[in-house]
A and B are shown apart, each in its own frame.
Chain A
Amino acid sequence: AQSVTQLDSQVPVFEEAPVELRCNYSSSVSVYLFWYVQYPNQGLQLLLKYLSGSTLVKGINGFEAEFNKSQTSFHLRKPSVHISDTAEYFCAVSEQEYGNKLVFGAGTILRVKS
């Protein structure tokens, strides 16, 4: 069974600084990887996903993530954050087998300060 670990529950950062939100997963088979974002009082929406191919994936709002199979990681990065990036970010994994469930990490709250 797959599992996801998000190593930081909260990440405070100043506006225009770079940020990295860490995600590690475990699975015995190949996986699909996702990052979702939940803005305050809103539903979850997809930021980006890795299915196959290039290990560097670009998403919305200037975010990108890199899949590292040897380290079983899928860390999310942004070179310069904005106040509007304040939200909770969830990493998720699904095993590459038709009809498999999506499992989420515990989430990381990104707080951008001015």
Chain B
Amino acid sequence: GAGVSQSPSNKVTEKGKDVELRCDPISGHTALYWYRQSLGQGLEFLIYFQGNSAPDKSGLPSDRFSAERTGGSVSTLTIQRTQQEDSAVYLCASSSTGDGDEAFFGQGTRLTVV
């Protein structure tokens, strides 16, 4: 596709369940970012991929959060044993090389934990 695609667009899950969020970056983009946007909290950095490796995963809030990227393309963010405080919009972005390039954002996945 022409832009960054995220799925699902909305996800409601019960507390304690695991969820997987998917990001399909722009073709050829080597850099991929995950952010979390909570009401009034701005964009919280979660993890950054360069190719398939994650040189910076310092933003993952706990060991319940993990992410992987395969084939230098699609990335999956997994949240295990979800908690209500995980409710937020999860944004994915990609850029050509990550070195001063524009980051293109997806529309996000709105996660609600009930």
CB distance B55 to A99 under 8 Å? yes
Given contacts A44-B105, A45-B105, A46-B102, contact A101 B42 (CB under 8 A): no
**Interface hit among B12-20, B21-29, B73-81, B92-100:** B92-100
Which residues of chain A are within 8 angstroms of B93 by Cβ–Cβ distance? 44, 102
> Separation in Å of the A13 CB from the closest CB of chain B?
20
Residue of B nearest to A103 (CB): B45
Interface SS of chain B: helix, strand, loop or mixed?
Answer: strand
Within 8 Å of chain A (Cβ to Cβ): is B91?
A: yes
Given contacts A43-B108, A99-B31, contact A104 B43 (CB under 8 A): yes
Whole-angstrom CA separation of A71 from B70 in the bound complex:
41
CB distance A98 to B99 under 8 Å? yes
The B31-62 residues at the A interface (CB cut-off 8 A) are: 31, 33, 35, 40-43, 45, 48, 50, 55-56
Whole-angstrom CA separation of A102 from B107 in the bound complex:
18
CB distance B35 to A104 under 8 Å? yes
Interface residue range, chain B: 20 to 34
The A71-104 residues at the B interface (CB cut-off 8 A) are: 90, 94, 96, 98-104
Within 8 Å of chain B (Cβ to Cβ): is A49?
A: yes
CB distance B108 to A98 under 8 Å? no
CB distance A101 to B106 under 8 Å? no
Given contacts A43-B105, A107-B43, contact A94 B55 (CB under 8 A): no
CB distance B42 to A90 under 8 Å? yes
Within 8 Å of chain B (Cβ to Cβ): is A32?
A: yes
* A-B CB proximity, top 8 nearest: A106-B42, A104-B43, A101-B48, A32-B100, A44-B105, A99-B50, A107-B42, A46-B102
Q: Give the interface of B toward A (CB within 8 A).
A: 31, 33, 35, 40-43, 45, 48, 50, 55-56, 91, 93, 95, 97-100, 102-103, 105-108
20 contacts between A and B (CB under 8 A): A9-B40, A32-B100, A34-B102, A43-B91, A43-B105, A43-B106, A43-B107, A43-B108, A44-B91, A51-B100, A96-B99, A98-B98, A98-B99, A100-B98, A101-B33, A101-B48, A102-B103, A104-B42, A104-B45, A106-B41
